[in-house]
Amino acid sequence: MGVVVVGGECRTARADMSYKISEFGNHLGCGSGIEELMDDLGHALASGGPDLKMLGGGQPARIPEMNLVWRRRLEELIEETGGLDRAMTTYDPPKGNPRFMAALAKLFRETFGWDIGPENIAITPGAQTAFFFLFNLLAGRMENGSRRKILLPLVPEYIGYANQGVDGDLFRAVPPMIEKSGLHAFKYRVDFDHLEITPDIAAICASRPTNPTGNVLTDEEVARLSALAKAHNIPLILDNAYGAPFPGIIFTDAKPFWEPHVILTYSLSKIGLPGTRTGIVIGPPDIIRALGSMSAIVGLSNPSTGQQMLLPLVESGELLRLSREVVMPFYQEKCKLARQAAHEAFGDGADWFMHRSEGALFLWLWFPGLPITSKELYQRLKQRDVLVIPGEYFFFGLDDPDWPHRNECIRVSYAMDERTVRDGLRIIAEEVAKARE
């Protein structure tokens, strides 16, 4: 393809493109880390053999109890008068299904005391689309010719943000403080001393738990970020794709947080419905109205199936119970087994670390002094039917793109079955040892 992606930017146009394309087309059509992730995931799941160890994607596990819930809801939709029509054959308003948005507002209002209504909620075709809308709504080239950026207070951060700017790179990131705890454990902390809100910052954004590391910002860190955003009259965006209260894949104390200047995103993917492509945004009414307009222009309407599948679970509050009693314990046990397998695979040597697992679906492994890059390690593992994600993709927006740490980490999913995860970690340990020889 003649494509090189460095730091989230395309250095060369596609060599296979026979027509002239715009800057916008070149930027979005030149390849990216998220494309490589999804391409490997899709091809692997479609054609992979029995020995494939798919530890690279964000594909959620198929939880038997949740699958029973979805089958029940499909049967109910078929049996309900007009149920299938509402889910499959009608357009919703661009902002989302009114009954679904009203149910969500009521759930958050009654459970957490948030002063929100349907005017604070928009539905998008997945949370990934929500971030494309939000980032380009708030940042990029402004009418006066200036440029504004999204501040990431902690990297590594979600790979899917990196290439979303329609007018080039949108991000400025602050390197984290690395806090080691024990022989093989560490945690990234927000470096508030170096967190500067300059006039060109349009918003602060963080995922909680963080994809890729499983790091959960503490309630105190979230409150400090919120106060900074409010003081500078900009929004704080919190990505809750794995977070509280649903799907609730958090293994530490973390209270759901909202204030009038805060924008929250949720998704139905990790609760077990990735194929419905349903994202949820809670935010100020003016932002929500803009998202509705963008949805109308880009896609007319949003997918209805996920909203109809989840509607009675939201109205009854069962969604929160399922997150708390089924989804969270399922992943917490898988995390425990994966961490045990990692310690068995890598042993007692002092040349590897694992980020504290506080949520999400991943282990974040750091190999200090690794003589090859994480991308080279990724290619070696791919030859052995083990798919991971190179860590360097997650360190975007930094002033120093050559920071060695970014080339020493990989993300490993533990959503697959225990044997696959265990065998994959063993092979990773073998390849890391070979690289150090």
- pLDDT digits 0-9 by tens, 380-421: 999 999 999 999 999 999 988 779 999 999 999 999 999 999
User: Looking at residue 41, what is its pLDDT?
Assistant: 62
- 196: domain range? 91-322
Tens digit of pLDDT for each residue in 35-84?
766 676 666 666 666 678 889 878 899 999 999 999 999 999 999 888 88
- Is position 84 within any domain? no
Tens digit of pLDDT for each residue in 122-140?
999 999 999 999 999 999 9
* pLDDT over threshold 80, residue 22: no
Residue 153 is classified by DSSP as S
- Is position 73 within any domain? no
Query: Do 172 and 152 form a contact (C-beta atoms < 8 A)?
Result: yes
User: Looking at residue 2, what is its pLDDT?
Assistant: 35
CATH number at residue 298: 3.40.640.10
Average pLDDT across the chain, whole number: 90
CB atoms near residue 414 (< 10 Å): 28
- Is position 69 within any domain? no
* pLDDT over threshold 80, residue 5: no
* pLDDT over threshold 80, residue 15: no
Residues 127 and 233 in one domain: yes
* pLDDT over threshold 70, residue 102: yes
- Is position 75 within any domain? no
Give the span between the Cα atoms of 360 and 250, in whole angstroms: 7
Percent of the chain with pLDDT over 70: 92
Nearest to 99 by CA among 247, 312, 277, 257: 312
Residues 244 and 368 in one domain: no
Amino acid type, 235: P
Nearest to 395 by CA among 188, 195, 202: 188
User: Looking at residue 30, what is its pLDDT?
Assistant: 67
Residues 169 and 186 in one domain: yes
Give the span between the Cα atoms of 412 and 365, in whole angstroms: 8
Of 32 and 1, which is predicted with more confidence? 32
CB atoms near residue 91 (< 10 Å): 9
CATH number at residue 28: 3.90.1150.10
Question: DSSP readout, 218-264?
Answer: -HHHHHHHHHHHHHTT--EEEE-TT-TTTT--B-S-------TTEEE
pLDDT category at 433 given cuts 50, 70, 90 is very high
pLDDT category at 203 given cuts 50, 70, 90 is very high
Per DSSP, the three-state class of 70 is helix
Query: Do 21 and 3 form a contact (C-beta atoms < 8 A)?
Result: no
Residues 289 and 372 in one domain: no
User: Looking at residue 31, what is its pLDDT?
Assistant: 65
Which of these three, 291, 322, 353, is where a domain ends? 322
Residues 348 and 368 in one domain: yes
User: Looking at residue 399, what is its pLDDT?
Assistant: 83
Which of these three, 283, 300, 322, is where a domain ends? 322
Residues 265 and 336 in one domain: no
User: Looking at residue 400, what is its pLDDT?
Assistant: 81
- How many structural domains compose the chain? 2
Residues 222 and 314 in one domain: yes
User: Looking at residue 219, what is its pLDDT?
Assistant: 97
**Which residues on adjacent β-strands are paired with residue 186?**
180, 355
Query: Do 290 and 92 form a contact (C-beta atoms < 8 A)?
Result: no
Percent of the chain with pLDDT over 90: 77
Give the span between the Cα atoms of 330 and 338, in whole angstroms: 13
Nearest to 130 by CA among 138, 141, 119: 138
User: Looking at residue 217, what is its pLDDT?
Assistant: 97
Pair of tokens at residue 337: 């087994």
- Is position 254 within any domain? yes
Residues 160 and 288 in one domain: yes
Nearest 5°: the CA angle 111, 316, 206 is 45
Residues 166 and 199 in one domain: yes
Which of these three, 322, 348, 375, is where a domain ends? 322
Residues 147 and 295 in one domain: yes
pLDDT category at 300 given cuts 50, 70, 90 is confident
